[in-house]
Amino acid sequence: MNSIDKQLKNMAKEEAMEPSAAIQAFIQRTLSGLPDDGSPLPRKMARSKRHSFPRPLAAIAAAFALFLLIPNLSASAAEAMSDLPLIGPIVDVITIRNYFYDDGYHRSSIDVPQVELGGEGENSSLGDSVQSINADVQAMTDRLIAQFEADTAEIGDSGHTELSLTYQVLTNTDSWFTLEILVYQGAGSGSQSYHYYHIDKRTGQIMQLSDLFTEGNDYQTAISDEILRQMNDQMAADESITYWVGSAYPELDFHSITPDQNFYFFENGNLVIRFDEYEVGPGSMGSPAFEIPRSVYESMLKEGY
Amino acid sequence: MTYITDKKKWYTEQITACQASLYRLAVSLLRNEEDARDALQEALCTGYEKLDSLQDAGKFRPWIMRILHNASYDILRARKPAVSLSDIPPDQEPANTAAFPSDTGLKEALLALPEDYREAVILFYYEDMSIKEISRITGESAGTIKTRLSRARSRLRRVLDL
């Protein structure tokens, strides 16, 4: 073994990356939920439902993913690509800061993303939108880190906290860009929240759900009815699935999406509506997402969407 | 494993004994706690279901780590199925190590590596496994593991200023 290997193994011993008490408790909970007699696992009960909906492809095709990745990899490649004739403006996302902390009781892992414009366009409405998104992301990460540091100082070694922020580019075509940010905060039990940023690259505008539809159309009811149908179908097919619909507490039930509801486009072009934890069901349902067939809302869309 | 009378108790003891190794592998591959939990849960359930297929109780640790490797890569594939960083030729890999502060630790440097390299580093440096053992867990040839380790070592040396 060479000296570099020895040095790295020593460093690995010093930075052992031990699981937190929360992770250990999670493992023990999973183990204790296993059947005692070795009978087949009640899979639908035991497993997390956080990824019950297929996450969209980060890129639509391999060639396109290469296009996304290469500018992140080397400055020379990025420069070379900026000379290529392209149909739509180049929008890319890079990690500008990694914030890691781990003292055995409190740990955080944050990748702070920054949207970047390639080539020209910094002074256009697209540039303004990019700046606005970056400012928003920066404010959010600053707030999360400040809260984490305050909690760490207050709780000390009497408890555990976790914070992570990850992101991915869901869509990046010549006309549309979507950045998804997932924040996980844990203290005892954990919670997660999704944040989406959309840009219509043709206009350069930041978009929310209501911006897709023409005035006067009740897209909220049409989409909400489809979601309710899917919720009821899922509950009928699987007794472990629970959404808050038709319950004894109607004021807590899901009735309708909002104009700024979280959404993204699935790879097939269908809208996907995302809810946060506890928004439409108990925590065991995670952050459910519903793919809405285009036929449900197509007649209400503005031209071009 | 029919000679084990209390299957769940034995399995719980084995998992508890290697939970730190399992956590390190999952969190280094997936780089966030939430997905690591999903992978761990999936692997623990799958391992329990398939426990009867384990031929040698003494090889439980590499066996369950192989299952966790598969569970983690399932999540990685769902997350970004198109192109792995390790598919990019080495001359296109980031050379910008200046972005790392001088006090960067091994963990931070590790998490900045492509996923295939992270796994090789975790298993070799943290878990003290041999090339042959890593090869069995990852399903890659010994030559591939050596190449990954060599490239990872080179990157870590630059970033960590060793």
What would you report as the CA-atom Rg of chain B, rounded to the nearest whole angstrom? 17
Q: What is the CATH number of the domain that holds A194?
A: 3.30.565.40
Do A103 and A230 belong to one domain? no
User: In which band, very low, low, confident or very high, does the pLDDT at B92 lie, cut at 50, 70 and 90?
Assistant: very low
List, as ranges, residues 109-148 from B with C-beta within 8 Å of A.
Answer: 111-112, 121, 125-126, 128
Residue B133 has pLDDT above 60, yes or no: yes
Q: Flag whether A283 is in a domain.
A: yes
Side chain identity at residue B91, one-letter code: D
A125 and A240 assigned to the same domain: no
In chain B, CATH 1.10.1740.10 sits at 1-82
**Residue-number span of the structural domain to which A214 is assigned:** 209-305
pLDDT surpasses 90 at B125: yes
* Orientation of helix B33-49 relative to helix B19-30, angle to 10°: 130
Determine the average pLDDT of the residues in B128-156: 91
Bridge-partner residues for A183, per DSSP? A165, A193
What is the amino acid identity at position A132?
A: S
Nearest to residue B71, comparing CAs of B10, B119, B7? B119
Using one digit for the tens of pLDDT, what is the confidence trace for A19-64?
888 888 889 888 888 887 655 554 433 344 333 333 333 323 333 3
Residue A214 is given by DSSP the state: -
CATH code at A228?
Answer: 3.90.640.20
Q: Are residues A161 and A72 in the same domain?
A: yes
**End position of a domain, from candidates A191, A207, A223:** A207
* Cβ contacts of A85 within 8 Å, gap of 6 or more: none
CA of B42 vs chain A CAs: smallest distance (Å): 7
User: Which residue from B minimizes the CA distance to A46?
Assistant: B45
CATH architecture for residues B89-162? Orthogonal Bundle (1.10)
Whole-angstrom Cα Rg for chain A = 22
Same domain for A287 and A148, yes or no, is no
Please give the tally of structural domains in chain A.
2
Alpha-helical runs (H) found in chain A: 3-14, 21-32, 43-46, 62-73, 75-82, 125-155, 219-237, 294-297
Q: CB of B103 within 8 Å of any CB in chain A?
A: no
Q: Decide which of A207, A242, A277 is a domain's last residue.
A: A207
Task: Give the CATH number of domain B1-82; options: 3.40.50.2300, 1.10.1740.10, 3.50.50.60, 3.40.50.720.
Answer: 1.10.1740.10
Helix (H) or strand (E) holding A184: strand A176-187
Are A198 and A215 found together in one domain? no
How many beta carbons lie within 10 A of that of residue B115, not counting itself?
A: 18
B125 CB neighbours in chain A (<8 A) are: 5, 8-9, 11-12
In a shared domain, residues A181 and A296: no
Q: How far apart are CA A208 and CA A68, in angstroms?
A: 24
pLDDT tens-digit map of B6-62? 788 889 999 999 999 999 999 999 988 888 999 999 899 989 888 888 888 888 999
A161 and A283 both lie in a single domain: no
* Sheet strand arrangement including A263-265: A263-265, A271-274, A289-292
User: Of A73, A77, A79, A122, which Cα lies nearest the Cα of A94?
Assistant: A73
Answer whether A10's CB lies under 8 Å from B21's CB: no
Same domain, A202 and A216: no
User: Where in the sequence of chain B do the CATH 1.10.10.10 domains occur?
Assistant: 89-162
Q: Between A and B, how many CB-CB pairs are < 8 A? A: 166
Of A207, A238, A261, which residue constitutes the final position of a domain? A207
Q: Is the dihedral of CA A215, A299, A207, A193 positive or negative?
A: positive
Are the beta carbons of A18 and B20 separated by less than 8 Å?
yes
Q: Are residues A229 and A199 in the same domain?
A: no
Residue A282 belongs to some domain of the structure = yes
Could you report the predicted ipTM of this complex, rounded to two decimals? 0.85
Residue A128 lies in a domain: yes
Residue ranges in chain A whose pLDDT is less than 50: 42-86
- Cα separation values, A145 from A107, A109, A131, A139, A186, Å: 11, 10, 21, 10, 13
Residues B39, B74: Cα–Cα separation, whole Å:
9
B82, B92, B106: residue with CB nearest A11? B106
- Whether residues A214 and A173 fall in one domain: no
Which helix (H) or strand (E) covers residue A257, if one does?
A: none
Q: Which residues pair with A167 in a beta bridge?
A: A181
Amino acid at A139: A
A199 and A267: one domain?
no
Residues whose CB falls within 8 Å of the CB of residue A225, separated by 6 or more in sequence, listed in order: none
Per-residue pLDDT of A223-236, as tens digits, reads 999 999 999 999 99
For A242: left if phi > 0, alpha if psi spans -120 to 50, otherwise beta; the answer is: beta
Residue A32 located in a structural domain: no
- A198, A270: one domain: no
The pLDDT, as a whole number, for residue A66 is: 32
